[in-house]
Amino acid sequence: MADEKPLKENPDAQFRFAMSDDGMKLGVNRYFPATGGRKPSVDLIREQVAEAGVRLPVDEDAARRVVEAIHDGRPFTGIALVRGIPPGEPQHGALIALGDLDYPVFPQDRFARYREPRSARPGETIDGTPIPTKHDFKPEDIQVTVGDNVDWDPTTESYVSRVWGMARLKGGVITVDPIPRITEDEIAVMGTVHHRDFQGNPVTPSKLEKEIRDMGVVIDIDPDRLEARIEQASKTGAPLFDQVIVQGVHPIPGRDGWLEYLVSTREDAGTEDESGRMDFRNRGAHPMVRPGQSIARYHHPTPGEGGIDIYGKTIPAHAGRELHIHLGENVTLLDDGVTYQSKGEGVAVMERNQLSVTSCLEIPGNVDFNSGNVRLEYGSVKIKGSIQAGFSVSAPLHVIVEGSIESSSVRAGGMVSVSGGILMPEGGSVIAGSEVSANYTVNANIQAGGDVTIANEISNSIIRAKGKLVAVSGKGIIHGGHIITGKGVLVNEIGSELGIKTVVQVDIDHPEDESLRAQRAKMTQAIRKIDEALGTDPPEVILMRTPEAKRRAVAEVLTHRRTLARRRRAITDQIHKLIDARQRRLSGVSITARRVIHPGVIVKFGKMGRQFGKQAGPSTLFWDTRNWSIGIK
């Protein structure tokens, strides 16, 4: 573009301008110093641009840089004084995230902005040529409803979080789902730990602690623990789910009253030899006692220790329950009220809370070809060695084995006590009228009328106990097999890291259940056949429409139907009583693993089952009578 006035007629400094090929930039390409008139200035540039016919505004900062460059003798070309107006493409209304919402937001964070719909707007070049848009459509708006934990800021047209959480837009509702959650017992705060927030700022222990304090938590928060979790999330680049952020103290229930044996007991696991293997023969004396010998001491229950919840409140502990011990044969209680003494020679036995000293036959070695099968018509038997495969032992009272039971048949009217293991790779069984105890089991088949106590491993075994299964004094591990008890399970570990199928079940069925239901079904079917033949009208109506010759026979059938209906109602009432009995039995029964439950474990209460798909820590499973399901705590 050229100035219309000749240089000799204008003493002011003169600028010559050039426009880019696309018409969107205008700059100075030549400059003529003043000849007595005005020197270079922003105002002079603005005036001469207007005289050149340009209607668009001059960038004053760019003009100032041109003046400074002329003054300093520096190049001034390439500085855009005026820019064209680019076309504005149409846009739908939208919600624009102000960061990466795969990461958390915190209170007062503006995490999303509303963008209004915008119609198409043509542009304009320096010389006034219009520039059309590439697209031309009618923009549409969006409808967004403010949901939980979100505020709308009309000043900045943005959405602001009220809490520490994850922002979500679903179904047109924008919400922030809180990350921290308080456990039902109010002892811990759980949540997901991230190493950064949605804007890329690092998450720090102090930032999380502030949010926890704002929830009303008053107990101490471990910053080192939080720092470790944050560092772990940073190293892996992934959030850590279900983390304990702060935890109070669980109450410790009091220990139930218990009996301490003052003689060698079946709980001794043997000694370790030089090679590190267990020598199950070196166990000391089995509890054979003599007259006047103190055999046990009772310890009263303890009150327990209270816990503290996250609000600093004390959680009372349940006190232990008394163990009521009844005196059996050949046992007396001394004046101190806790020490039990033998009045005769025999074996100290605790059966159904009755402490006795009973007579016993002793086998000095193994049960093998030297002794033959052992069959007693009275009393108990104590075997100093093992029961070899293929042999059998039976006693009306107790069977005590200082060695092991190997693929043999053992039956006792009372307890079966095994210092070693029960190994049955080639079959066999142990059937006891009361409790069974052993150091470990492999492929065992055990039935007990009372508790089953195993010190170490229970491997691929089938155990059915009317009492409780306890395995806590040693390794206390169940892996593989099927455990069925009537009063619950207390062990250290269930299953294995290999995911071996392991079933642990509380059996609450009454034996007459199926028989009663079958009887009721049979009666229902008989009543239905009568109704199909005679109809369901009242008896007098049926008899009135019946021919006189058949009326007597029909009356007998109707009488039989009334008898069936009464019996069916009685059976239904009996079934309901059995159901109530099951619920009472279930209320105090639990399955507890003190350390871990592995994947592949199936826990059942009756026919209701729960399978573990991932590892669980210390857990107690119980029957939730309110929700009719298996609960866990």
Query: What DSSP string describes 328-340?
Result: -TTEEE-TTSSEE
Q: Cα(404)–Cα(205) distance, rounded to whole angstroms?
A: 56
Query: Stretch 516-532: mean pLDDT, rounded?
Result: 88
464: number of Cβ within 10 Å: 19
Least confident of 132-146, 178-192, 313-327: 132-146
Buried b / exposed e along 469-493 (16+ C-beta atoms within 10 A): bbbbebbbbbbbbbbbbbbbbbbbb
Q: Cα(396)–Cα(587) distance, rounded to whole angstroms?
A: 34
Percent of the chain with pLDDT over 90: 55
Q: How confident is the model at residue 584 (pLDDT cuts 50, 70, 90)?
A: low
Contact at 8 Å (CB) between 558 and 534?
yes
Q: Which residue type sits at 158?
A: S
Q: Cα(384)–Cα(121) distance, rounded to whole angstroms?
A: 102
252-306 pLDDT, tens digit each: 899 999 998 887 653 344 334 455 454 333 333 345 678 999 989 999 999 989 9
pLDDT value of residue 272:
46
Query: Stretch 571-578: mean pLDDT, rounded?
Result: 82
Query: Stretch 411-438: mean pLDDT, rounded?
Result: 94
Instruction: Give the dihedral of Cα atoms 470, 476, 479, 485; nearest 10 deg.
Output: 0
pLDDT value of residue 26:
93
Angle at 180 between CA 175 and CA 184, to 5 degrees: 115
Query: Stretch 105-134: mean pLDDT, rounded?
Result: 90
> φ, ψ for residue 71 (rounded to 5)?
-65, -40
Q: How confident is the model at residue 231 (pLDDT cuts 50, 70, 90)?
A: very high
pLDDT value of residue 98:
92
pLDDT value of residue 572:
87
Q: How confident is the model at residue 187 (pLDDT cuts 50, 70, 90)?
A: very high
pLDDT value of residue 285:
34
pLDDT at 207 over 90: yes
Percent of the chain with pLDDT over 70: 92
pLDDT at 66 over 80: yes
3-state DSSP assignment of residue 610? strand
The mean pLDDT value of the chain amounts to: 87
Contact at 8 Å (CB) between 374 and 367?
yes
**What angle separates helix 60-72 from helix 42-51, to the nearest 10 degrees?**
110
Q: Cα(418)–Cα(440) distance, rounded to whole angstroms?
A: 9
Q: Cα(420)–Cα(281) distance, rounded to whole angstroms?
A: 8
Least confident of 244-258, 458-472, 477-491, 567-581: 567-581
Q: Cα(149)–Cα(168) distance, rounded to whole angstroms?
A: 11
